[in-house]
Structure formats: C-alpha cells, structure tokens
Amino acid sequence: MLPLITPGYYAIHTYTWLCIYWMLAASLRFIMLIGAVNFAHAGFMGIGAYASAVLMMNIHCSFWITFFLGGIISALLGLGFGLITLRLRGAYFFLVSFALCEIIRISLSSYWIGTLGGVTGISNVPQPNAVLGVEFGPDSLNSFYLAVIICSLVLISLYVIENGYYGKILKSISESEELCQSVGINTIKYKVVVFVIGCFIAGITGSLYASLNERITASDFTYSLSMFILVCVVLGGQEHIWGSIIGVIVLVIIGEEARSTALFEPIIWGVSLMAVMLFAPRGIFGFVTRFASLAMKRSSSSLKIGGDKQWLS
C-alpha cells in the first residue's frame, strides 16, 4: 500500500483524502449518468458529516451506526429534493442544486448553534470505535485502511450497477427521456433512485470525513468543493468510472503541488478544465481510450437497407 512506500503523517493524510474524493467523484458521476449535475453534492456530504457527528456526540451512538445514519439522512433529503426538482432539465436542475448547496451551508452555520456549533463547527468528533482490537486514530494507518475499504466497496458497487442492465437504463434516460417513457420506463422513478443512491454515498462519505478529520465546519461543504469534484469528473472523463478516479488523482496532485501558492489553486483547476474541454472533450480517460481504439479500429461494413432479405417469419 502506498503509505507503506512513502510513510508519514502527510502521506497518510493525502491518501485518505484521495479516498474521500474518489467516493464523492464516483457518486457525483453516478448522478450525472441520468444527465443531472448535482451541485449540492458537497451539501449532502455536509448533512452526512453533521448528522454523524451530532449523533455520536449527543446520543453516543457508535460510529458504525452513525456512518449509515449519516448516509440515510442525506438520502432522505435527496429523496425529497429529487422528487421535486428532478423533473427540471439541464441547467435548471444545476441552478436549483447550487441554491440548495448554499442553503445547506448557511443552515448548518446559523441554526441550532448549541448543537451544530455555528460557524466554528464541531470539534473533537469521536473516532470510529475499535473493531476486533483494531483501533482507529486520526491520520493513523488503520483509518487509512478503513477509508480504502469503504471507498473500494463504494466504487465497486457503483461500477457493478452501472454495467448491469440498470446502468443501460440510466444511460438511455440521459439520451432520451421521451423514448424511454414510450417503451414503458418510469424515468422519474429511476432518476430519483439514482439521485438517492448518490446522496447516500455523499452522506456516508461525510460521516467518514467527520471522524477522520476530527473537526467539521460548514465552510468545508461549500459549492467550491462541489466545483472541485465536478472538475475532477469532467477532467478525468465522464464516460467511465476510471475517469473520475484519474481526475481526482490529477487534481489532488496539482493541488498539493500548488499548495505553496494556494491562491492560485482555483485558477489552476480552471485552466486545466479549459484545456481538457478544448483539446480532449471526453476527458483524460476518453483521450487515452480513443488513441487505443484508433489503433484497432475495424472498418465498418457497407450499409444497405435490407442487406439480406430476411423477414419476420
């Protein structure tokens, strides 16, 4: 594992962050399969993080329960929001979700200050409880492994869903809702289910983040995090889950390299995004696979309607 190769607090921290971003990017991309760009993704993560932290600190639930509760609460919010707004198309859904992200951030920092801690957020979020003698501390190797395991499970399940028949339906919904409805697909149901799954993953990512980071504030979950994740997905290439994984790696590396010039970080995201849009519209992954497939491209056969006269018998 990478931290074993490059040990140290900093490396573990960075790699744990990679896992968090991977989960976010993969779940955002999953929602984007139905053609909806969820700009409130960071907000849903925040809901999960706060839900988990509050439940652990006030009701003393175990992390292993609040981990899922954070996801479920986030998913319920996603269900309500999705049922109302997923009928909107294209840029309108994007705008509404942008508004939701801000509403969540402002609500988290201005209401129930006694519980949610206002602008200073919540500190000393408890760590995951020990399991079979394995302890989890902040930035410990075990916490990193925990993040890796959860992240892998999430990525694998999303990959499996996407590549089954279910994924085909999602792709066809993003291509033409009208056609899907005409063949009996209840498109709004599928869209809501996908959105709820995406929000659930954002929520559990938040729960994990709250414990591993020990401290959460509402300003961790602003639209700029949503933006960062969105840039990761687009930069890496939306067509495949590998695109999201690559996009996160590239942008985290850029971010770490640019840390000394933190002010310029968003500029670097912007420039790299523009470069990709201009020169490789299908993202890094699409760019690479296109070159690979060009090498083995087969010529297509001649197309004449009714090439061989076979009919329904």
Partner 1 sequence: MALLELKGVTKQFGGILAVDRIDMQIFEQEILGLIGPNGAGKTTVFNCICGRYHCTNGEILLQGEQISKLKSHEIAKKGIARTFQTTILLNNMSVLDNIIIGSHTWGEKSLALSFTNRRKYLRAKERAGDILRAFGMDKVSHMAAGELPHGQQRLTQIAIAVASEPKLLLLDEPVVGMNAEEIRYTMEAVKKLREQGITILLVEHNMRAVMEYCERIVVLDHGRKIAEDSPDKVRSNEDVIRAYLGAPEHFTED
Interface residue list for partner 1 (CB under 8 A): 161, 164-166, 168-169, 171-172, 175-176, 178-187, 190, 300-301, 303, 305-313
List the structure tokens of 25: 């990017």
The sign of the CA dihedral 63, 68, 72, 75 is: positive
Q: Quick one: 99 or 169, whose CB is closer to partner 1? A: 169
Q: Which residues lie below 8 Å from residue 4, measured CB to CB, with a gap of 6+?
A: none
CB of 91 to partner 1, least distance (A): 21
CB of 131 to partner 1, least distance (A): 29
The C-alpha angle with vertex 107 and arms to 119 and 64, in degrees rounded to 5, equals 85
CB of 188 to partner 1, least distance (A): 9
Q: Quick one: 171 or 271, whose CB is closer to partner 1? A: 171
Q: Quick one: 107 or 157, whose CB is closer to partner 1? A: 157
Q: Which residues of 272-299 are buried (b: 16+ CB within 10 A; e: fewer)?
A: bbeebeeebebbbbbebbeeeeeeeeee
CB of 313 to partner 1, least distance (A): 7
| Secondary structure E strands in 41-177 | none
Q: Quick one: 145 or 166, whose CB is closer to partner 1? A: 166
Q: Quick one: 135 or 239, whose CB is closer to partner 1? A: 239
CB of 297 to partner 1, least distance (A): 13
CB of 117 to partner 1, least distance (A): 41
Q: Which residues lie below 8 Å from residue 162, measured CB to CB, with a gap of 6+?
A: 30, 33, 170, 241
Q: Quick one: 175 or 256, whose CB is closer to partner 1? A: 175
In three-state secondary structure terms, 148 is helix
Q: Quick one: 61 or 169, whose CB is closer to partner 1? A: 169
| Secondary structure E strands in the chain | none
Q: How far is CA 194 from CA 12, 175, 258, in A?
A: 32, 16, 35
Q: Quick one: 74 or 238, whose CB is closer to partner 1? A: 238
Residue 136 per-residue DSSP state: -
In three-state secondary structure terms, 88 is coil
What does the alpha-carbon distance between residue 213 and residue 158 come to, in Å, rounded to a whole number? 25
User: Given the structure tokens 């500029």, which residue do they identify?
Assistant: 267
Q: What are phi and psi of 119, to 5 degrees?
A: -70, -25
What does the alpha-carbon distance between residue 232 and residue 243 come to, in Å, rounded to a whole number? 8
Q: Quick one: 124 or 302, whose CB is closer to partner 1? A: 302
CB of 190 to partner 1, least distance (A): 8
